[in-house]
Chain A
Amino acid sequence: MSMKRKVAITGVGQSKHRGHRQDVNQPELVWEGVSDALADSKLDLKDIDCIVHGNMELFEGIHQPDMWHTLGDGARMKEGIRITTGGTTGATISCAAANLVASGLYDTVMAVGVEKQEEGQTTTGITAMADPLWGREIQTGAITGATGVIWVTELGERAEWAAAKLRVSAAKNAMRNPKAHLRINITEADVMNSRLLAYPLRLLHMCPESNGSCAVIYTNEEKAGKFPQKPVWVKDHVTIHKEETFFRGGPRPQELSQSYAARTLYDRNGIKDPYKEIDVFEMYDPSSWWEMDWACHFLRREKKEVLEMVERGDFELEGAWPINPSGGVVSTNPIGATALIRVAEAALQIRGDAGEHQVPKDVRTALASGFGGTFWTVATLLVKEL
Chain B
Amino acid sequence: MTRAAIVAMAQTRFEPKKGKERVQEMVWEVVKEVRETTGLGIRQKPGDIDTAVTCSDDFFDARTISDSCIGDLVGAHFGPEEKVAMDGLNALFYSAACVLSGHSEVVLLAGHCKESQADSRNLIGYCASDPVFLRGVGLDYLSAAGLQMSAYLHRTGATEKQCASAVARDRRHAAKNPKALARKPVSVEDVMGSDYVCDPLKQLDIYPVTDGAIAMIVTTEDRAKKITDKPVYIQGAGSCYNDYYLGDRDLSRDQALVAAARRCYQRAGIKDPRHELDLIEIAAAYSYQELLFLEALGLVDDGHAGRLIESGATDLGGKLPVNASGGMLSGNPLLLGGLARAAECFLQLRGEAGERQVAGATRALAQGATGPAAQHHIVMALAGK
Q: Which residues of A contact B (CB under 8 A)?
A: 1-5, 25-26, 50-51, 56-59, 61-68, 70-71, 75-86, 92, 95-96, 98-105, 119, 125-129, 131-132, 237-245, 255, 257, 260, 372-374
Q: How far is the CB of B198 from chain A (nearest CB, A)?
A: 18
The winner among A75, A103, A126 for most chain B CB atoms within 10 A is A103
B97 contacts A100, C-beta separation under 8 Å: yes
A129 contacts B68, C-beta separation under 8 Å: yes
Is B128 part of the binding interface, using a Cβ–Cβ cutoff of 8 Å? yes
Q: Which residue of B lies closest to A50 (CB)?
A: B239
B77 contacts A241, C-beta separation under 8 Å: yes
B64 contacts A374, C-beta separation under 8 Å: no
Q: How far is the CB of A169 from chain B (nearest CB, A)?
A: 30
A86 contacts B239, C-beta separation under 8 Å: no
User: Could you give 10 example pairs across A and B, Cβ below 8 Å?
Assistant: A58-B64, A62-B131, A79-B260, A81-B86, A96-B94, A241-B76, A241-B77, A241-B79, A242-B78, A243-B76
- B62, B103, B371: the one contacting A3 at CB < 8 Å is B103
Q: CB within 8 Å of A: which of B346-384?
A: 370-372, 375-376
Q: CB within 8 Å of A: which of B44-102?
A: 50, 57-59, 62-65, 67-69, 71-72, 76-86, 90, 93-94, 96-102
CA distance A75 to B58 in the complex (A): 22
Q: CB within 8 Å of A: which of B203-242?
A: 238-242
Q: Which residue of A lies closest to B102 (CB)?
A: A4
Contacting residues, chain A, for B82 (C-beta < 8 A): 83, 85, 92, 95-96, 239
Contacting residues, chain B, for A260 (C-beta < 8 A): 78
CA distance A77 to B256 in the complex (A): 6
Contacting residues, chain A, for B86 (C-beta < 8 A): 64, 66, 81-82
A83 contacts B83, C-beta separation under 8 Å: yes
Q: How far is the CB of A96 from chain B (nearest CB, A)?
A: 6
Contacting residues, chain B, for A255 (C-beta < 8 A): 78
CA distance A86 to B1 in the complex (A): 32
CA distance A84 to B72 in the complex (A): 18
A67 contacts B128, C-beta separation under 8 Å: yes
Q: Which residue of A lies closest to B245 (CB)?
A: A71
B102 contacts A1, C-beta separation under 8 Å: yes
A244 contacts B239, C-beta separation under 8 Å: no
- B80, B259, B370: the one contacting A240 at CB < 8 Å is B80
Q: How far is the CB of B68 from chain A (nearest CB, A)?
A: 5
- Given A99-B98, A102-B103, check contact A56 B63 (CB 8 Å): no
CA distance A272 to B111 in the complex (A): 39
Complex A-B, nearest 4 residue pairs according to Cβ-Cβ distance, in ascending order: A243-B72, A4-B102, A102-B101, A239-B80
B243 contacts A85, C-beta separation under 8 Å: no
Q: How far is the CB of A377 from chain B (nearest CB, A)?
A: 10
A105 contacts B1, C-beta separation under 8 Å: yes
Q: Which residue of B lies closest to A52 (CB)?
A: B94
Q: How far is the CB of B136 from chain A (nearest CB, A)?
A: 14
- B58, B81, B376: the one contacting A80 at CB < 8 Å is B376
- Given A70-B244, A102-B101, check contact A82 B77 (CB 8 Å): no
Interface size range on B against A: 35 or more
Q: How far is the CB of B25 from chain A (nearest CB, A)?
A: 13
Is B104 part of the binding interface, using a Cβ–Cβ cutoff of 8 Å? yes
B63 contacts A244, C-beta separation under 8 Å: no
Contacting residues, chain B, for A80 (C-beta < 8 A): 239-241, 376
- Given A57-B59, A58-B59, A83-B83, check contact A77 B101 (CB 8 Å): no
CA distance A238 to B79 in the complex (A): 9
Q: How far is the CB of A55 from chain B (nearest CB, A)?
A: 10
Q: CB within 8 Å of A: which of B234-291?
A: 238-244, 255-256, 259-260, 263, 267
A240 contacts B78, C-beta separation under 8 Å: yes
The winner among A56, A67, A100, A239 for most chain B CB atoms within 10 A is A67
- Given A64-B370, A67-B128, A129-B65, check contact A243 B85 (CB 8 Å): no
A64 contacts B101, C-beta separation under 8 Å: no
A105 contacts B97, C-beta separation under 8 Å: yes
- Given A1-B103, A99-B101, A103-B101, check contact A57 B85 (CB 8 Å): yes
Is B125 part of the binding interface, using a Cβ–Cβ cutoff of 8 Å? yes
Q: Which residue of A lies closest to B84 (CB)?
A: A83
B372 contacts A67, C-beta separation under 8 Å: yes
Is B127 part of the binding interface, using a Cβ–Cβ cutoff of 8 Å? yes
- Given A63-B127, A68-B244, A244-B68, check contact A82 B85 (CB 8 Å): yes
Is B130 part of the binding interface, using a Cβ–Cβ cutoff of 8 Å? yes
Q: How far is the CB of B32 from chain A (nearest CB, A)?
A: 16
Contacting residues, chain A, for B370 (C-beta < 8 A): 64, 67
Q: How far is the CB of B193 from chain A (nearest CB, A)?
A: 33
A3 contacts B255, C-beta separation under 8 Å: no
A373 contacts B100, C-beta separation under 8 Å: no
- Given A68-B130, A68-B244, check contact A239 B81 (CB 8 Å): yes
Contacting residues, chain B, for A2 (C-beta < 8 A): 102-103
CA distance A81 to B67 in the complex (A): 17
